[in-house]
Structure 1
């Protein structure tokens, strides 16, 4: 967590100073504010920061942008709060990008919180700028297009979720906030066979046993698996359909 300390005369920043260490008055949670992803067509991102007073005195905190990327407007609301001892106040930060840099990349900046003479706190923020190219789910394949229900030897649905853009030196991960596998028959949605949240980029495999969402064996006939991938921070949702037949 980010911490603000009151200044201590005669202290040396290169040495551990127990007096200065005890002078921490204000902490920010989170210390690094993730604003999400700035997808194409989106200009603003917002987040909230909790400022906690860990001192024994009342703090009047003033907040202002410390640094910011070019073409970015930063707003803090409220920009002045009073935090009583042992209590916390929540403030909101919104960034608006007048120009969106080419992805993959990031926008970065910081907020300055001043709580009286000598007590200063720097809170960094960042926003990812991904490459907006669908899809976020690729290489989707079903090992067998026709099979009988079998719990011991199921058909295998394999896929690659998310992406890794950029270069080896500066990779940018695009994870999924949600990955779902739905079961359909004709125009009817029968339910969800699997749902994963906060999915890191990588290869995944699922067993398709020939059972429905409630566990019952599927009747013979034609069905469809729909893979749905939702990228973190919004962006275009990927939907891929795979037909199969139950014998």
Structure 2
């Protein structure tokens, strides 16, 4: 009997062109970097700090790993840069909704509400590389902001990133549910299906029911969110 469901955000609950999103994200950030220094140097060190965070397996949070590395490389004051990024996420980041053509998956709201209705613990299991303010902004784009999620995996609270198994282990520990009673829903074969190595059930989101063969990790289920909506009551019995 299913007890918890983990939802990937980008490409699953939220439809956006992720390559376009990242291109415009970095473009907006570079414009802001110009105001405080050498934007190319800051951008280079930002990527180094992101790589360090992606490799994190604890005991520090992703947030602390990123900031320790970024401030070490740039020589910038951490508090000053934290305020700089918070201002960016408050004022510039929302522009990415239109720039990346982001829109809610047409069945996202129904599936999330069905999950709560069935009494499942619901986790927004987006990769923990963004702060909570940025994840909540993207949840707004998906019309999924005002729900009592059991966990949102932001960089402030997590100690690893996808596809590291430590990421999924930490989620299970935080929500106190065993792997076999948990379902991971996502569209990324590497990042989301890796959860199966722990015994977590997986649902590969494949729009139009596209058949994907030769996967390293075979999903337990696959289809679109309409298929998941029909499946959830059966898994929760």
Query: Which is higher, the Rg of structure 1 or of structure 2?
Result: 1
**Higher strand proportion:** 1
Shared fold per TM-score greater than 0.5: no
**Higher helix proportion:** 2
- What TM-score, normalized by structure 1, do the two folds share? 0.22
- What TM-score, normalized by structure 2, do the two folds share? 0.22
